[in-house]
């Protein structure tokens, strides 16, 4: 197995800040690319000021910038522009998540770069994309979670507004940007042609809603929040037990029948109200009541055992600590360690992209201090 990943040999010039762009370049670094983070002199990436802090350093920043290099450049200064351009000569990909127009003002818009560096792939992750009337509007994660409809289908019916607990606006855009960059790399490998990847956080919210958009365009009904229930599969939700909630997910008729048998309620399997998924979906209140009545009779652990034996997918609602106690976590190396020179050892989420041809080490290099790699980079560039 190779120590580096499938993107080894790829150099990324990374102008991105905070989360959406950095999450894309984080994945690139995890897969073996060299990521050179260009930060503004002084404070660097805004995310360096997001807590929690250890020894004065942002662990928010550490988590998604591990394994990258940093050089501070003022792209309005002539001397720093020469360094930046020397980096672009060697780069395969540039990633930025400025407001659209910013790169053009700096003289580094796609058209200019494409002419000067014809093999350079340009990836932009912005709030609304590089086209359209709202293109230049600012956006952050929660703004697009709200605008894009994600918050409208998350939460309790009639309840207060609820955000998806992780930053789906940014990380969603980071994932699609990564897919676009890899597709562009593959295209360049096969044809020599470089392309621009133009990702909008707002577009990504719509793409992630997928099923909710289809339900609206097909039925005309506006999807609302459903608490802990799936909109089109039943039973597929959290039920009360004697001592806590249990998620039961019956994705087909066979699993539903197994669940009824396992609960000791074969009559439910035969009930004409619940024969097909479509019927169960339409009669979900009645079905919920029947399941809840049975499941309340015993503690969650009992039902996990009973359903587990029957092959019915089910499980508890874990908190983060409980999730990390899962015996899969060490085997799958989903909690890696990085050692920061000041903050010491920090444990972070691992890389879920497991490739048999490559190692998945238990440790990762730390995130760089601002401008930490300047001397090395300048020497390499002969500047």
Instruction: Using CB under 8 A, pick the residue from 196, 274, 366, 372 that binds a copy of itself.
Output: 196
- Work out the end-to-end distance of the chain between its first and last CA atoms, rounded to an integer number of angstroms: 36
User: Which residue do the tokens 């000021």 mark?
Assistant: 49
Task: Tell me whether residue 81 is exposed, middle or buried, using C-beta atoms within 10 angstroms of its C-beta: 0 to 12, 13 to 18, 19 or more.
Answer: middle
Q: Which is nearer to a copy of itself, 189 or 285 (CB)?
A: 189
Of residues 12, 13, 15, 18, which one binds a copy of itself by CB under 8 A?
18
Q: Which of 20, 208, 260, 367 binds a copy of itself (CB under 8 A)?
A: 208
- Can you tell me whether residue 151 is helix, strand or coil? helix
Query: Taking CB under 8 A as the criterion, which residues in 136-175 touch a copy of itself?
Result: 137-156, 159-168, 171, 175
Distance CA(97)–CA(115), nearest Å, equals 21
Residue span 59-78 as binding mask against a copy of itself, x where in contact by CB under 8 A, dash where not: xx-xxx--------------
Q: Whole-angstrom Cα distance, residue 271 to residue 276?
A: 10
Rounded CA gap, 90 and 107, in Å?
19
Nearer to a copy of itself, 83 or 209 (CB): 209
d(CA 211, CA 231): 9
Q: At its nearest, how many Å lie between a copy of itself and the CB of residue 331?
A: 4
Q: Is 228 in the site for a copy of itself (CB under 8 A)?
A: yes
Q: Does residue 216 touch a copy of itself according to CB under 8 A?
A: yes
Distance CA(188)–CA(186), nearest Å, equals 5
- With respect to a copy of itself, which residue has the nearer C-beta, 193 or 339? 193
**How far apart are alpha carbons 312 and 257 in whole angstroms?**
9
Residues 143 and 168 sit within 8 Å (Cβ to Cβ): no
Question: Is the preceding peptide bond at 238 cis, omega within 30 degrees of 0?
Answer: no
Residue from 184, 295, 367, 370 touching a copy of itself (CB under 8 A): that is 184
48 alpha-carbon distance from chain centroid: 20
Our CB check for a copy of itself shows the closer of 81 and 229 to be: 229
* Binding residue (CB under 8 A) for a copy of itself from 104, 223, 302, 381: 223
| Sheet of strand 363-364, all strands in order from the earlier edge strand to the far edge | 344-349, 335-340, 363-364
Tell me how far apart the alpha carbons of residues 129 and 148 are, in angstroms, rounded to a whole number: 14
Residues 23-42 that bind a copy of itself (CB under 8 A): 23, 27, 31
Segment near a copy of itself (CB under 8 A); pick from 74-82, 90-98, 260-268, 311-319: 311-319
Q: State both tokens at 262.
A: 């396992």
Query: Is residue 83 close enough to count as binding a copy of itself by CB under 8 A?
Result: no
Structure tokens at 130: 């590089």
Does position 317 bind a copy of itself by CB under 8 A? yes
Q: Which of 114, 187, 230, 245 does the annotation list as catalytic?
A: 230
Q: What is the closest distance, in whole angstroms, from the C-beta atom of residue 78 to a copy of itself in the complex?
A: 26
> Which residues inside 232-291 make contact with a copy of itself, applying CB under 8 A?
232-233, 236-238, 245, 247, 249, 251-253, 276-278, 281
Residue with tokens 């019916």: 157
Applying the rule CB under 8 A, the residues between 43 and 62 that interact with a copy of itself are 46, 49-54, 59-60, 62
In the residue annotation, 187 being an active-site residue is answered as no
CB 70 to a copy of itself: min, Å:
18
Q: How far is the CB of 381 from a copy of itself (least distance, A)?
A: 25
Sequence-distant (≥ 6) Cβ neighbours of residue 330 within 8 angstroms: none
Cα-flanking dihedrals φ and ψ of residue 204, to 5°?
Answer: -65, -35
Q: Judged by CB under 8 A, which of 101, 264, 308, 341 binds a copy of itself?
A: 308
Stretch that binds a copy of itself, among 86-94, 101-109, 312-320, 373-381 (CB under 8 A): 312-320
Residues designated catalytic = 230
């Amino acid at each position: 197995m190779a120590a580096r990943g499938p993107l080894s040999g790829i150099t990324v010039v990374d102008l991105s800040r905070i989360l959406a762009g950095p999450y894309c370049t984080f994945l690139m670094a995890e897969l073996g690319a060299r990521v050179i983070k260009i930060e503004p002199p002084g404070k660097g990436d805004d995310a360096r000021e997001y807590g929690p802090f250890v020894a004065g350093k942002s662990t928010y920043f550490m988590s998604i910038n591990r394994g990258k290099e940093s050089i501070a450049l003022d792209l309005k200064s002539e001397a720093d522009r020469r360094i930046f351009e020397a980096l672009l000569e060697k780069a395969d990909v540039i990633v930025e998540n400025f407001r659209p127009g910013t790169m053009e003002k700096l003289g580094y818009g796609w058209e200019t770069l494409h002419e000067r560096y014809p093999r350079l792939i340009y990836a932009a992750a912005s709030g609304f994309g590089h086209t359209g009337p709202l293109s230049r509007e600012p956006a952050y994660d929660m703004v697009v979670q709200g605008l894009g409809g994600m918050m409208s289908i998350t939460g309790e019916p009639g309840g207060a507004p609820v955000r998806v607990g992780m930053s789906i606006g940014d990380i969603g855009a980071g994932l699609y940007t990564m897919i676009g960059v890899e597709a562009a790399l593959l295209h360049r490998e096969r044809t020599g042609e470089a392309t621009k990847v133009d990702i909008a956080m707002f577009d990504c919210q719509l793409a992630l809603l997928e099923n909710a958009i289809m339900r609206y365009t097909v039925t005309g009904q506006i999807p609302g929040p459903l608490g802990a229930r799936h909109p089109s599969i039943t039973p597929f939700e959290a039920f009360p037990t004697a001592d806590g909630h249990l998620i039961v997910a019956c994705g087909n008729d066979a699993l539903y029948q197994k669940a009824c048998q396992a609960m000791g309620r074969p009559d439910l399997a035969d009930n004409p109200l619940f024969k097909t998924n479509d019927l169960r979906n339409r009669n979900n209140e009645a079905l919920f009541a029947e399941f809840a009545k049975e499941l309340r009779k015993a503690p969650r652990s009992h039902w996990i055992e009973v359903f587990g034996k029957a092959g019915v997918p089910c499980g508890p609602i874990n908190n983060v600590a409980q999730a990390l106690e899962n015996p899969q976590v060490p085997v799958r190396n989903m909690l890696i360690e990085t050692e920061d020179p000041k903050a010491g050892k920090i444990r972070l989420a691992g890389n879920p992209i497991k490739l048999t041809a490559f190692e998945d080490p238990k440790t990762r290099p730390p995130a760089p201090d601002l401008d930490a790699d300047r001397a090395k980079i300048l020497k390499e560039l002969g500047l």
